[in-house]
Structure 1
Amino acid sequence: MATFARPAFSAKTYAAFRPAYPPSLFRTVLQYHQANGSASTSSSNKQQQLLLDLGCGHGLIARALKPHFQSVLAIDPSAGMIAQAQQTTTDPSIEFRQGSAEDLGFLSDASVDLAVAGQAAHWFDYSKVWPNLARVVRTGGTIAFWGYKDNVMMGAEQATAIMEDLVYGFGEAAPGIQKMGPYWEQPGRNILRDLLRSVQPPAQDWRDVAKHEHEPGEDGPEEDVWLRKKMKLGEVEGYLRTFSCYSSWREAHPQVKSRADGGDGDGDILDVMWDRMIDSVPEWKAAGDRWREVEVVNDWGTYILLARRK
């Protein structure tokens, strides 16, 4: 997760282009949280309720779930993310602070009703996180981790394959321009690509473990297929520029400029990738300079991991 603290990373760009979470995701989380003896979210019980948002980023989840809790504490290791979250949040009952899931010493025992982590749980050191959460989540309280991986562009399989190769491949994509595979932080990325299957809540502390999984491009119920949306190619381009591997790639190749930053010729690795992707889809190529206005359905692989404190 150190990439998000590097100079090349822009929290503002991340907030602008990362996909939002749909209401169906939050319904799945809240329905699980409220079932089987968990505290009600009725107004009479709100005074007892605290939501803990781990790896909160720019505050999207904290703001979306706040109406269901009396207060929210949202933490993130990145000072830039916390600054972005504070700038875009007006609710004084949401507290943002720099911190990590591995260090929750500032929280009292059994003080948390629901602990969530959106697109962050693959970074955690669980040798520290599980004991932390077992201490701070009250009996009957819940955890909900979710995330997404590797969007596919439906109906554009060749373009998706090109994107996969340049994002995860090794070696040269063009003379002097390396692919981005070596620039992912590991093992976090591979844990996410495996939909967090290697992460299991310890049975001595957690019960009623539930898991929703979806591989990109497959069909399934709404609670599993919760991140599928139509986007302009220009929006997909902006999203890809938020990848941590791209930030690391840029830091490693400061002499290679994107065309948007004044580079010429092939531009940078994403310019190379988009040139090839556009050439692979006749409709996109026919759009010429207006290719960024073309719309395509993107489907992400997703997971939701849920568990209740014993």
Structure 2
Amino acid sequence: MADVATVPTPAPVEKTFRAYTKEQGATYAKGRLGYDQRIYNYIYDHHVSTGGQTDSLLDIGCGPGTVARELSPRFTRTIALDPSVGMIDAARALGGATSAPEPIRFEVSTAEELGSNLSPPVADASVDLITAATAAHWFDMPGFWAAAARVLKPGGSVAIWTSSSKYIHPSMPNAASMQQILQDFRDEYIQPHMTPGNLIAEKMYETLPMPWDLETPVAEFEESAFLRKDWNKDGTVGPDGEFFLGQKKLSLGHVERLLETVSPVTRWREAHPDDVGTDRDVVKMAVGKLASLLHEAGMEPGKEIITTGVTGALIMVKKKE
């Protein structure tokens, strides 16, 4: 269970992604890969095995709609919400369908509204599964839990998870040195532009408030049914040398695009507009250092590949029957 204080703290209001344009949302979708199917299987199996139904999926903080598209074939109806107009525009352009099949409904709404602002609104007691992937650190959790209790069916589930692909697989040549480059990138350039929400995510949601931790607990949720699952914590690999949530071989170009989607990078670039895209750009500097190590190991320029591993943490909560 999360170890959190029960006194209320200010919600870490997210401003960077909310200001995204449709073009920025499309770029984000290209840089952020989808999640390994095994995490979807784990969520789905736990949801169904604990009595959850598969009529209605509600994805929160959906961004360009990646999770909604990947999970929707298992559900009859899907609504995906994000507070950013630009992200929703990008999601609608990419589309997606459910098992019915019917189109995914992408709408602008916050985690605290959960569609109450829409026409038609997300109805009370109408949702089987709520998902939030690498987004809950931006939520006002008391408001979110109250709204989730309202829209979930009895026995419905909430699945909240986050992941990090900042780990270099130990099989890579110069792995330790490349890992240090990413750590320096974080400590020297990114950390000053981190917000409280970034820090919650960096701790893999260990401090994310649960409904029973709040000053006014949300009693509709069953504390005894709480589930937390960690994969490859702190970048450690399993006995087989693999990351459970997958490892990806990325070109340097993809690594660059991925780093550019990190919200503190956006804020760094806003603070240093004259350096964006130059050899003083924080992303360009990090990627250049990685390239030098790969060339030192014998990789040809233009053919650099980095194997990264993904760590993750999943929280699942059930609404009482």
Sort the TM-score into its range (normalised by shorter chain). 0.7 to 0.9
Q: CA deviation at 1:250?
A: 1.2
2:35 alignment partner in structure 1:
21
Q: Any conservation in 2 of the 1:227–1:302 contact (CA below 8 Å)?
A: no
Q: CA deviation at 1:269?
A: 1.4
Q: Separation in 2 of the partners of 1:287 and 1:267? A: 24
| Pairing partner for 1:217 from 210, 213, 235 | 235
Q: Any conservation in 1 of the 2:178–2:293 contact (CA below 8 Å)?
A: yes
Map 1:76-95 → 2, pairs under 5 A = 76-91=82-97, 92-95=102-105
1:232 alignment partner in structure 2:
251
1:31 alignment partner in structure 2:
45
Amino acid across the alignment from 2:291? I
| Pairing partner for 1:111 from 101, 113, 126 | 126
2:112 alignment partner in structure 1:
102
Amino acid across the alignment from 1:211? R
Map 1:142-181 → 2, pairs under 5 A = 142-149=157-164, 151-154=166-169, 155=172, 156-169=175-188, 179-181=189-191
Show CA shifts across 1:12-41 (max 9, x none). Answer: 1110111211211110011011012222x4
1:272 alignment partner in structure 2:
285
Q: CA deviation at 1:281?
A: 4.5
Q: Any conservation in 2 of the 1:142–1:308 contact (CA below 8 Å)?
A: yes
TM-score for both structures, normalised by structure 1 = 0.84
Q: Any conservation in 1 of the 2:20–2:85 contact (CA below 8 Å)?
A: no
Q: Any conservation in 2 of the 1:118–1:145 contact (CA below 8 Å)?
A: yes
Q: CA deviation at 1:247?
A: 1.2
TM-score for both structures, normalised by structure 2 = 0.81
Tell me which protein shows more strand as a share of its residues. Answer: 1
Q: Separation in 1 of the partners of 2:237 and 2:159? A: 23
1:44 alignment partner in structure 2:
none
In 2 relative to 1, CA 114–62 (structure 1 residues): closer, same or farther, beyond 3 Å? same
Q: Separation in 1 of the partners of 2:285 and 2:316? A: 40
Q: CA deviation at 1:7?
A: 5.8
SS across alignment from 1:189: helix
Map 1:66-77 → 2, pairs under 5 A = 66-77=72-83
1:201 alignment partner in structure 2:
210
- Which sections of structure 2, spanning at least 5 residues, go unmatched? 1-13, 213-218
SS across alignment from 2:35: coil
Q: Any conservation in 1 of the 2:19–2:86 contact (CA below 8 Å)?
A: no
Report whether the alignment pairs 1:304 with 2:314. yes
In 2 relative to 1, CA 150–63 (structure 1 residues): closer, same or farther, beyond 3 Å? closer
Q: CA deviation at 1:130?
A: 0.9
Q: Separation in 2 of the partners of 1:133 and 1:272? A: 42
Q: Any conservation in 1 of the 2:141–2:209 contact (CA below 8 Å)?
A: no
Amino acid across the alignment from 2:244? V
How much is the aligned-residue C-alpha RMSD, in angstroms? 2.3
Show CA shifts across 1:217-263 (max 9, x none). Answer: 313499x83142222222112211111111111111111131xxxx4
SS across alignment from 1:127: helix
In 2 relative to 1, CA 117–273 (structure 1 residues): closer, same or farther, beyond 3 Å? same
| Pairing partner for 2:153 from 138, 163, 171 | 138
Report whether the alignment pairs 1:64 with 2:70. yes
Amino acid across the alignment from 2:27? T
1:289 alignment partner in structure 2:
301
Question: Alignment identity in percent?
Answer: 30
Q: CA deviation at 1:89?
A: 0.6
- Which sections of structure 1, spanning at least 5 residues, go unmatched? 42-48, 170-178
Q: Any conservation in 1 of the 2:159–2:317 contact (CA below 8 Å)?
A: yes
Q: Any conservation in 2 of the 1:150–1:193 contact (CA below 8 Å)?
A: no
Moved more, 3-12 or 52-61: 3-12
Q: Separation in 2 of the partners of 1:216 and 1:230? A: 20
Q: Any conservation in 2 of the 1:50–1:113 contact (CA below 8 Å)?
A: yes
